Structure 1
């Protein structure tokens, strides 16, 4: 698990290119390169923009590390449900 956490952090930092947040272009590149195999529509720029808007809690047009972690958590939960065939009863 330690390796997975390091990877999540390193991918964000690498994609942010020394900044505290991901702009639209860097967010799209991150999603396409790192999540394309487990998420649909990552090749659609409009779908990725919609995803970014949904994550952007403070509406600053960027994705912070915390907002990025919300995406990671959502994807991990969806992947777990897919693999186990269960759904979170709180989500229903």
Structure 2
């Protein structure tokens, strides 16, 4: 990777997520965390439109928020491979709908690991994906 590659730049600080009402249930708090985390890292794309994650913001989200669920979040090649899997429309940004695919997959993995459910479906992330050089982030064992 070249030094100017977006995967190798420092990740900027992230603003706080709006507060959740005290009376919110654990599920409501969790939903707020999933949605709020996306918007905490997302920026408006050039020319307006919905907020989305550019490569740098995506790497920051993975490293800071999912480092215990995914391995290799600090490896630019692995993060780039996951980004490419999620970026369904190829616009080099991760929309909320594309981010949701990652969240859904992680829910399947947690369900499998902690509740004995069947193995999670395939991509976006293989459970013990290829090593970082081949471009994969697998779940933590």
TM-based fold match above 0.5: yes
Partner Cα distance (1:26, 1:66) in 2? 16
Matching of residue 39 in structure 1 with residue 70 in structure 2: yes
- Tell me if 1:56 matches 2:82: no
- Higher share of residues assigned helix: 1
In the alignment, which residue of structure 1 is the partner of 2:33? 7
Aligned to 1:85: 116
Q: Which runs of 5+ in 1 are unaligned?
A: none
Give TM-score scaled by structure 1 length: 0.89
Indicate the residue corresponding to 2:59 in structure 1.
28
> Runs of 5+ in structure 2 lacking a partner?
1-26, 45-50, 123-141
Rg comparison, structure with higher value = 2
More displaced 10-residue stretch of structure 1: 59-68 or 76-85: 76-85
Query: Secondary structure of the equivalent of 1:21?
Result: coil
**TM-score under structure 2 normalisation?**
0.59
More strand by share: 1
Q: Supply the distance in 2 between the matched residues of 1:88 and 1:75 (Cα, whole angstroms).
A: 12
